[in-house]
Structure 1
Amino acid sequence: MSDDGVYVGHAAKDAALDRGWLLGHFKDPHDPRHSEALEIKWGIHPQGDERAQWVRGEERTALLVLISGRFRMRFPRREVLLERQGDYVVWGRGVDHSWHADEESVVLTVRWPSVPGYRAD
């Protein structure tokens, strides 16, 4: 990072350093990627990758956009298959969810707000 308040990076490389997260409250306060308003994740998932446990009691709203591959979002009453670049899904606070990569997939997730101390493992 330079001292001019500008950060230039590569999503895949930077994502590998912090479980995929590129922006959020968990970045250093002096880093331009620090935000209490939202979080952004660059998720790279091999075929067959899936969330080990459902996220329950989500405190944020989220948007997930398919960059490449075939990715399945699971919700209590439905599944959503993202299969064309640009397909996306939005879910709100309190919506339990899980996911599965039907093919090797890259997804971009935006969550808001960025909640200090909250982490869905």
Structure 2
Amino acid sequence: MTAMHLILGGRYMGKRAYAESLYGPFAAVCDLSCDEPESVTDAAVVINLQDGVRTLLLRGSDVRVFFEARVERLRRCVLIGDEIGGGIVPMDPFERRWRDETGFLYQFLAREAETVDRVWAGIPVRMKG
């Protein structure tokens, strides 16, 4: 992997399988559903970006600042995140903020990424690159 590849799509839509079909199995995976956000700099692939956003918000951290500070390292990664912006807008203010901040992060990463794909039902659609 030599350039940032952002892969987005719904939960269980085949994003990781698609990434592995392109790059082979990943030895170093950072899963932000259970790993600390700081570990993104040690991995070839980062999954569950949306969960990293939640963790950062719960800490009171600025999500954009966090990822901007690490963008040079992330330029050599595959980044995978779930789309969480569809459907009914949550009533809970934190849930709305989490959804918004995740969308803002995806926009930032999409601008920075060389390649952006969306995967739906196992079918990838190239959006950039």
Same fold (TM over 0.5): no
* Structure with the bigger percentage of helix: 2
More strand by share: 1
TM-score normalised by length of structure 2: 0.28
TM-score using structure 1 length: 0.30
